[in-house]
A and B are shown apart, each in its own frame.
Chain A
Amino acid sequence: MVAAAHDVVVGLVVGIPVLVVAVGAGVALRFRGRGPASAVPPGEVASDVPTDVELAAGAEVARRAEAPVPEAPSGTEVTGAPEPEARVEVPEAPTYRGRLGKARGLLAGYLGAVRSRGKIDATTWDDLEEALIRADVGVGATDALLDDLRTRVRAGEIGDPDALLDALRGDLVAALDTPRRDLTPPGSARAAGDGDSRHVDVWLFVGVNGVGKTTTLGKVATRLTAGGTTAVLAAGDTFRAAAGEQLALWASRSGAEIVRGAEGGDPSSVVYDAVQRAAARGADVVLADTAGRLHNKANLIEELKKIRRVSDRPPGKVTEVLLVIDATTGQNGLAQAAVFTEAVDVTGVVLTKLDGTAKGGIVVAIQRELGLPVKLVGLGEGPGDLVDFDPGSFVDALF
């Protein structure tokens, strides 16, 4: 920071409390009529003693678990029986359209109307705009998509509503379809390290509070384990109450080992310990949970950067940073994606809760603005409710 700017900041830190005391004093005088401007106490109700413990907001954890919850350990602890024959059944993945189908009615209405009018007129554009906005695609991306189509209609390239809808579908699919959608195969770090078995891939799961990070991690663990990959789970959310218990449940469901730290402990060191453990065992990948954090909290973003740095220390190597975005998220999703990408170099997006009525159109804007590919989609709360992102079916579901 420039010296001058730093001075302003320190000035503010010093000035704001003073200003507030002054305002408070003013208020006390004015509204309680306690007399002239001599030393008059501003406050009247002593607040409760503040707790130093901060509590995670939006704390929602995995449901429908059958397995018992292990006791909370103190200090870093490794649990889970990595028996080679402990094969986990992955429930059949839901069909994408089947799940999404429930929510199709709304937009289908607009697009049906567009088709049935037989010609392209002002109402056509209004309907398309409304359909896209309702899907949370956002004003900016919607305008850009439609402006482009307008030009093509004017140029005579597109003649009727059917062609227009096909073109729109094509544009959306093209925007979302990038070869970078595939997850890095676990074990890449080892391959890159000349087959040294001590190298371990690290996948970080990041995002704001309550979007489905832990659940997605659990689903990914289930999938990887079933495919013969050895994963170690790192309980990097040491902050929210009962977050470790939640992940421990997913560990026992998926048959993966879990490394936990003390509640309130340093998340980086939990991930570090997990990497050490994975290297010693010759595991392929560490799946690291992180506490939910709002992207506008500078200190929490700094903490995440540190987690990433520490995870990248040999033998660890970060090969995926998955940003989890809830499909109900509106335009704020773009700011989330921008900040997390800038801070920890996100490699892909996981779009969760698409089994609800929300469309998740914000990923169109995220892809357009930041070039971030969507890699996975969450379609429910069960271990098998995870599918690879498919632009075609996603866009069809919008329509």
Chain B
Amino acid sequence: MFERLTDRFEGILGRLRNRGRLTEADIEDVLREIRTALLEADVEIGVVRTFVGAVRERCVGLELSRALSPGQQVVKIVNEELTGLLGGETLRITYASRPPTVVLLAGLQGSGKTTAAAKLARWFKQQGRNPMLVGADLQRPAAVEQLRVLAGQIGVTVFSEATDPVAVAQAGLAEARRLGRDVCIVDTAGRLAIDAELMEEVRRIAEVVSPDYTFLVIDAMTGQDAVATATAFHQTLALDGVILTKLDGDARGGAALSVKEVVGRPIAFASTGERLEDFDLFHPDRMADRILGMGDVLSLIEQAERTFDEGTAAKAAAAMLEGRFTLEDFLEQLQQVKRMGPLSGVLSMLPGLSKDMKQASSMVDDRQVGQVEAIIRSMTPAERLDPATIDGSRRLRIANGSGTTTADVNALLKQFREMQKLMKGFSKGGLAGAMGGLGGMFGRGGPKLSPTALAELQSTSDLAGAPGGPLAGLTGMGGLPGMGGAPGSGRGSARATKGGSSKGGRKGKGGGRVTPKSR
């Protein structure tokens, strides 16, 4: 999501970062490119105009700062404006004092409402709530069936009956009250914003359930029409926010910016995959960071915290440090990381990696991961503990068992041996040494990675070796390279370069963003 916009800005602003002075022509050049990038990302043209205007205004009267080069200042301005445009802060759900908290979902056909309803129910469950789903999409016979199947997977009750959508919504709410559910999510049929009859129907649904939250579900691939749709739904329903779906595609998702701007309500949730757990609160400031190529390390950390099973992770960390990390441990870790999303995506969230690195990581797809898993699964437990025992005939057996070739088995064993060497580096040189080694490891593989990529990785690992413990400095990677924060000075100063003048809602990001979970 947004990747190519990131690349684009990196291209334009990378040039600027290295220059000392900014002429008026420079400004127009940059603005022109930003405009094109935003249009190609499907940001609505009116919104683009507003955005570019705001950036221009701030660039023209730019008071040259001593700390930052003009180029860096433009980066900062664009970042702030983008963050402002995306919405200041992450939505915080306020639960109704008299439960249940009612959530209504509406949107066009095919935007992903039914799946989003189930994902939302799962999310509320994770927050310790006790949700119920109401299937008020009666226009499509298979819709309620679909909702029931999904709800069954997360153990949530569905209410629906063959009356009419308004009656179902009303009865559903009554049922939620009767059962003592504290959240009631109403799924509705897809409808066009210009279909007066159906818009009236959804208005009446809202009337009878008086939702605490009404969300418009919008597909991230939506083009210029997002604004017309959002405006119409907002007029009818008074939206509280937007759920952005299919962000796991490669659409740049400019619709998010447009809708936020015209509706003036936040993007509340983002849906990033086909699994029910691929769904979370939308983090606008992180998204802007990401657009500017900083990498979204905070999201990664949060995801890691949530996904990782304490027991196995502790075991793995211990095993790593003691240099006895086996294929068995690796397989377990792989399962955990996979839950965070595709491997390539996970890597792209790590900051400081160059395009080359990211490109290399995009070569990894589920199939190759599956292959690696299959190979390990075809080994006996003893072989997993001691791969050295795997001779030629065993290799052949493993290859046959996993539907791969002996060359594939060899490649895996070789890479794993390298990794084990690296683990030793862990215990000796801390993460810094290990990560340097990791860069070297990727580098040996082929010509894909440039020396700069390795240098970047190396400097990232230098950060990791900064004072405060061998691993602690890692979080300092949140800073924009060359944007004022001294390397290794940690998140505090890196963040400070963006504070102050931004559009508000950026307070409290110091520690709060990292530990938002309710335990």
In the complex, which residues 233-269 of chain A have their Cβ closer than 8 Å to any Cβ of chain B?
240-243, 245-246, 249
C-alpha spacing A327/B434, complex, angstroms: 50
- The SS class assigned to the B binding surface is helix
- B350 in contact with A47 (CB, 8 Å): no
Q: Are B142 and A12 in contact (CB under 8 A)?
A: no
Q: Is A13 an interface residue (CB 8 A)?
A: yes
B486 located at the interface, meaning its Cβ lies under 8 Å from any Cβ of chain A in the complex = no
> Contact: B308 with A24, CB < 8 Å?
yes
The A interface, classified by DSSP as helix, strand, loop or mixed, is loop
B499 at the binding interface (Cβ < 8 Å): no
Question: Are A57 and B221 in contact, CB atoms less than 8 angstroms apart?
Answer: no
- Whether a CB of chain A sits under 8 angstroms from the CB of B347 is yes
Q: Are A59 and B224 in contact (CB under 8 A)?
A: no
Residue numbers in B under 8 Å from A55 (CB-CB)? 115, 118, 150, 153, 274-276
- Proximity bits, B413-445, A CB within 8 Å = 1, else 0: 011101100110010001100110010011011
A22 and B435 contact, CB distance less than 8 A: yes
- Residues in chain A near residue B347, CB distance under 8 A: 12, 16, 19
Is B304 in contact with A24, judged by CB distance below 8 angstroms?
yes
Q: Report A132-154 CB contacts with B as 1/0, cut-off 8 Å.
A: 01111011100000000000000
Report B-chain residues with C-beta under 8 Å of the C-beta of A211.
110
Tell which of A10, A26, A357 touches B411, judged by Cβ atoms closer than 8 Å: A10
CA distance A21 to B313 in the complex (A): 7
Check A20 for interface membership: any CB of B closer than 8 A: yes
**How many Å lie between the Cα of A53 and that of B370 in the bound state?**
15
B190 and A60 contacting across the interface, CB-CB below 8 Å: yes
Q: Which 8 A-B pairs have the closest CB atoms?
A: A330-B223, A43-B308, A210-B110, A4-B446, A41-B314, A26-B471, A8-B445, A63-B139
The yes or no answer to A114 lying at the interface (CB within 8 A) is no
CB distance from B133 to the nearest CB of A (A): 13
Contacts A47-B307, A332-B249, A357-B225 known; A15 to B438 CB distance under 8 Å? Answer: yes
In B228-260, the 8 Å CB interface with A consists of 228-229, 245-246, 248-252, 254-255
CA distance A197 to B415 in the complex (A): 55
Which parts of B58-97 form the interface with A (CB within 8 Å)? none
A47 touches B339 (CB 8 A): yes
Task: Name 27 interchain pairs, CB-CB below 8 A, sorted by A.
Answer: A4-B447, A6-B411, A8-B363, A11-B441, A30-B471, A38-B321, A42-B317, A43-B305, A47-B308, A57-B112, A58-B110, A59-B112, A65-B141, A209-B246, A210-B111, A210-B112, A245-B142, A249-B141, A297-B248, A298-B366, A327-B225, A330-B254, A331-B223, A332-B221, A332-B252, A353-B108, A357-B228
Chain B residues in 8 Å Cβ range of A192: none
Instruction: State A39–B310 Cα separation when bound (angstroms).
Output: 12
Q: Mark A9-49, 1 if CB is under 8 A from B, else 0.
A: 11111111111111111111111000011111111111110
Closest Cβ–Cβ distance, residue B504 to chain A (whole Å):
25
Is A295 an interface position by the 8 A CB rule?
A: yes
The CB with the most chain B CB atoms within 10 A, among A38, A39, A102, is that of A39
A65: which B residues are within 8 A, CB to CB? 139-141
Q: Confirm or deny: B200 has a beta carbon within 8 angstroms of a beta carbon on chain A.
A: no
Q: Which of A30, A48, A56, A326 contacts B472 (CB 8 A)?
A: A30
Among residues of B, the one whose C-beta sits closest to the C-beta of A18 is B419
- A299/B193 contact (C-beta < 8 A), A51-B276, A332-B42 known: no
- Partner of A19 from the list B45, B306, B316, B350 (CB cut-off 8 Å) is B350
Residue A342 interfacial (CB < 8 Å)? no
With a CB–CB cut-off of 8 A, which chain A residues contact B140? 60-65, 246
**A353 with B304, Cβ < 8 A, contacts A37-B470, A51-B276, A330-B222 known:** no
**Which of A13, A19, A40, A327 has the most chain B CB atoms inside 10 A of its CB?**
A13
Contact across chains for B45 and A133 when beta carbons are under 8 A apart: yes
Q: Give A40 Cβ to nearest chain B Cβ, in Å.
A: 7
Q: Does A7 contact B (CB under 8 A)?
A: yes
B13 at the interface (CB under 8 A from A): no
| Nearest CB in chain B: distance from A175 CB, A | 19
| Known contacts A5-B446, A331-B42, A332-B252, A17 near B336 by CB under 8 Å | yes
The answer for the CA separation of A386 and B449 in the assembled complex, in Å, is 50
Chain B stretch 102-118: residues in CB contact (< 8 A) with chain A: 108-115, 118
- Cα-based distance from A26 to B250 in the complex (angstroms): 30
- Whether the pair B249, A208 counts as a contact (CB closer than 8 A) is yes
Give the CA-CA distance A169 to B158 in the complex, in Å: 51
- Interface stretch, picked from B16-24, B207-215, B511-519, is B511-519
- The verdict on B291 contacting chain A, using a C-beta distance below 8 Å, is no
CA distance A135 to B225 in the complex (A): 8
Chain A residues with CB under 8 A of B333: 17-18, 20-21
CA of A46 to CA of B306, assembled, Å: 7
**Is A31 a contact partner of B515 (Cβ separation < 8 A)?**
yes
Query: Which residues from A are CB-within-8-Å of B411?
Result: 6-7, 10
**Residue among A16, A133, A240 with most chain B CB within 10 A:** A16
With contact pairs A21-B316, A57-B245 given, residues A13 and B369 touching in the complex (Cβ less than 8 Å): yes
Q: Which of B222, B297, B447 contacts A328 (CB 8 A)?
A: B222
B12 on the A face (CB < 8 A): no
A120 within 8 A of B: no
Is A14 within 8 A of B109, CB to CB? Answer: no
Residues of B320-344 whose CB lies within 8 A of A: 320-322, 325, 330, 333-334, 336-337, 339-340, 343
How far does the Cβ of A143 sit from chain B's closest Cβ, in whole Å? 9
Do B304 and A20 touch (CB < 8 A)? yes
Residues of B within 8 A of A48 (CB): 126, 277
Asked if B171 is at the interface of the complex by the 8 Å CB criterion, the answer is no
> Is B448 in the interface zone, CB < 8 Å from A?
yes
User: Chain B residues in contact with chain A, CB under 8 A?
Assistant: 36, 39-42, 45, 108-115, 118, 126, 137, 139-143, 145-146, 149-150, 153, 189-190, 192-194, 219, 221-226, 228-229, 245-246, 248-252, 254-255, 271, 273-278, 297, 300-301, 304-311, 313-314, 316-318, 320-322, 325, 330, 333-334, 336-337, 339-340, 343, 346-347, 350, 360-361, 363-370, 372, 407-408, 411-412, 414-416, 418-419, 422-423, 426, 430-431, 434-435, 438, 441-442, 444-449, 464, 468-472, 474-475, 511, 514-515, 517, 519
Query: Which B residues are in CB contact (< 8 Å) with A64?
Result: 139-140
Chain A contacts for B426, CB-based, 8 A: 22
Contacts of B370 in A (CB 8 A): 299
**Taking each of A11, A106, A130, A240, which has the highest tally of chain B beta carbons within 10 Å of its own beta carbon?**
A11
Query: Could you tell me how many residues of chain A have their Cβ less than 8 Å away from some Cβ of chain B?
Result: 109
4 other A-B residue contacts (CB within 8 Å) besides A20-B300, A25-B471, A241-B146: A18-B330, A21-B316, A245-B145, A328-B222
Q: Does A212 contact B (CB under 8 A)?
A: yes
Contact of A29 among B142, B308, B448, B469 (CB under 8 A): B469
* B251 and A58 contact, CB distance less than 8 A: no
Assess whether B142 is in contact with A246, with CB atoms less than 8 Å apart: yes
When chains A and B are docked, how far (Å) is the Cα of A48 from the Cα of B277? 9
Looking at the complex, which one of B115, B307, B325, B372 makes contact with A10 (CB distance below 8 Å)? B372
Q: Which residues of A contact B223 (CB under 8 A)?
A: 136, 328-331, 333, 358, 361-362
Inter-subunit contact A26/B224 (CB<8 Å): no
CB distance from B488 to the nearest CB of A (A): 13
CA distance A278 to B309 in the complex (A): 51
Say whether A46 contacts B310, CB under 8 Å.
yes
Residues of B within 8 A of A57 (CB): 112, 115, 245-246, 248, 271, 273-274, 278
Contacts of B150 in A (CB 8 A): 55, 241
B137 pairs with A63, CB closer than 8 A: yes
CB distance from A164 to the nearest CB of B (A): 20
Pick the contact of A50 from B109, B277, B322 — CB < 8 Å? B277
B40 / chain A contacts, CB cutoff of 8 Å? 138-140, 331
- Contact B434 A23, beta carbon cutoff 8 Å: no
Bound state CA distance, A14 and B42, in angstroms?
A: 36
Q: Which of A19, A20, A41 has the most CB of B within 10 A?
A: A20
